Structure 1
């Protein structure tokens, strides 16, 4: 059976190259707002509005391996056979919570398989509609579960809001699902005072699509006639959200904040981050590694014009960090900028 599954994945990867075909030709050279808007038009072709049909496909075919499905938050396997419809346990997780829908009870949003996953019903209830974001302290958080293959957490963010942090093994999948949903429907990714985008950008970097996620995207395309572009092209995430763009980009006013330069980049000893603002404003500037761990934070007052910040490749405790790719995240006044820097 393992040989059959491996063959199916190889076949799906072949279909992946074929299925994309000319799908992205009209957007492949775009960036920022232009790419975001063009992707919205490109992927707005799904019309499936049968939630029962989506659940049946999810549990009976899409995520079914030899009669088993896997919880997106715990990695726990459930035997469901081949006729299960997700009515008890496990059930269906809407990563973009239904209570967040801009159009209440919209059947197309509810049925969109790109953001639906099997989950332990108890963990689904625990996640509720909390933002998917980093929990500041795992030791004081509720864990789901210590005995399962993966661990997710519910607790407080660094700013004191209750959030739900998915397991490391599924962070990339969830990030791409939520960014897809925002691009497809223009529904906001700021919920309960938490802007999820900075963490989603990081999760997309640290957990890239694997063969299973690519195969899943192909199967959903066959079922509902649209693709998740961030699975096919995860680099689109940085091309959109490392350019100043709010998640309500279509109606937002022009950005007052920009990252002018990171010099030098790559760097060895120190680098200078140059931030431009049209007004005096407070900002939080953070450095993340590719595991999604925040290693350094500054609370800075930006001047009207240019503000320079020097990073000497140390963490909060003053210890030198190892060479690698790091993400610079700037938050100010509801705007977020993320950029990469390479430490040699």
Structure 2
């Protein structure tokens, strides 16, 4: 028996269209692969590359920890990471990806403070979760600050203060994450935060196969956020990736990177990043943060503005992921594609399937769970490009569909 669904397209006022300056990405049009990645680096770096228009990444400082109105990152978090109009509690507190509960009340809340992460002034205690938030480098400082003197110093300082990858996070949880790479935790976690982020031995299976050491796994809602931060870092600091790799002395650092300036990441870690990017599309929170970060330091994360750039650059790796899930891909089909607004998702065997549809801004505009049905029809979809994610058990595939 077939079941019909009507796709309700969200109002444009709700979508929060990213405030991308006119012409910002024009010089990247028509490029792909490493050439696209290098051009994006020119667009978002602090060098004069002769682009028109050109915006230079500006170092606004790390923050001294004094109670001033313009105190580097501490002050910037007042616009980049507040819970305002992003679909959470809308309570004006700091959004912390390790304790934020996107679907209900938070266990802990942090009030914005221009001097530190303390709710009431200075804070130096991270004994318990909820004590204070601090500035976490999602790409740890130990990965890029080994030679923070001499010629490397200026590069290190820009990386250290780059708000695109320095997030406000709970100080206790940040300490537990330490310098461990992000990844997929196995069956047992040694530590779990209030929102379900966890630390433990890597699963070393599925899309995360290839590493069995200790990893930190965020909740699903923020996995794509973290993935796009790492892809930004690999692009923004492309020219430095080989030099930084030569300075690494720990397994934690080397498992994530491969020493190249193009691919940048090891096979295991690029699979994790791409999987998280595809499974957790760009959110309204990311869009608003990217806009605020641009207003603060004058550069943007291109993978938030244009999620499609990811697989245009790391195309081989994206294809491999598709092949890894070939069993599920072989058992499903979407037709016709392109279509005139009506299409069918066909399952070639019975089972429990989850279907989600996202627009090009990453907003989920449709979701359904199907049990023991052969197919579903989706009708009256407005013109545009959409991404359909079909999941069953631990497998997941993402297909693009064009509505003419």
Q: What TM-score range do you get, normalising by the shorter chain? A: 0.5 to 0.7
Deviations 1:75-131 (A, max 9, x none): 154232454433541111110100001674411101101111111111000100111
Q: Deviations over 1:174-214 (max 9, x none)?
A: 11111101111123798242432211111111111122210
Are 1:118 and 2:154 an aligned pair? no
1:233 aligned residue (295, 300, 306): 306
Which one has the bigger strand percentage? 1
> What is the distance in 2 between the residues matched to 1:264 and 1:125?
40
5+ residue gaps in structure 1?
Answer: 1-8, 246-257, 271-288, 292-319, 328-338
Task: Give RMSD over aligned pairs.
Answer: 3.8
User: In the alignment, is residue 213 of structure 1 matched against residue 286 of structure 2?
Assistant: yes
Q: How many residues align?
A: 258
CA spacing shift, 1:226–1:341, aligned 2, 3 Å? closer
Q: Tell me what 2:93 maps to.
A: 68
Aligned pair partner of 2:224 in 152, 164, 172? 172
Note if contact 2:97-2:169 (Cα within 8 Å) is conserved in structure 1.
Answer: yes
Greater RCO, CA 8 A, separation 6+ = 2
- Residue 118 of structure 1: SS of its match in structure 2? strand
Q: Alpha-carbon deviations, 1:250-297, whole Å to 9, x = none?
A: xxxxxxxx97x9799964489xxxxxxxxxxxxxxxxxx999xxxxxx
| Matching residue of 2:134 | 91
Give the Cα separation in 2 of the matches to 1:201 and 1:220.
23
Distance 1:340 1:238, change over 3 A: farther
Q: Which moved more, 1:166-175 or 1:95-104?
A: 95-104
Unaligned runs of 5+ in 2: 1-11, 47-56, 64-70, 84-90, 101-105, 118-122, 125-131, 149-155, 205-210, 246-251, 257-265, 334-352, 356-371, 376-387, 400-404
Q: CA deviation at 1:59?
A: 3.3
Q: Could you give the per-residue CA deviations for residues 144-185 of structure 1, whole angstroms, max 9, x where no partner exists?
A: 22xx2x211111121321111111111111111111011111
210, 213, 219: which is aligned to 1:161?
Answer: 213
Matched, 1:39 2:40: yes
Q: 1:130-279 maps to which residues of 2 (within 5 A)? A: 130-137=180-187, 140-145=188-193, 148=194, 150-157=195-202, 158=204, 159-186=211-238, 187=241, 191-194=253-256, 195=266, 196-243=269-316, 267-268=330-331
CA distance in 1: counterparts of 2:37 and 2:312, whole angstroms: 9
Shift of 1:74: 2.4
Secondary structure at the residue paired with 1:160? coil
* 142 and 67 in structure 1: CA distance in 2 versus 1, 3 angstrom threshold: same
Q: Give the Cα separation in 1 of the matches to 2:31 and 2:289.
A: 26
Q: TM-score, normalised by structure 2?
A: 0.55
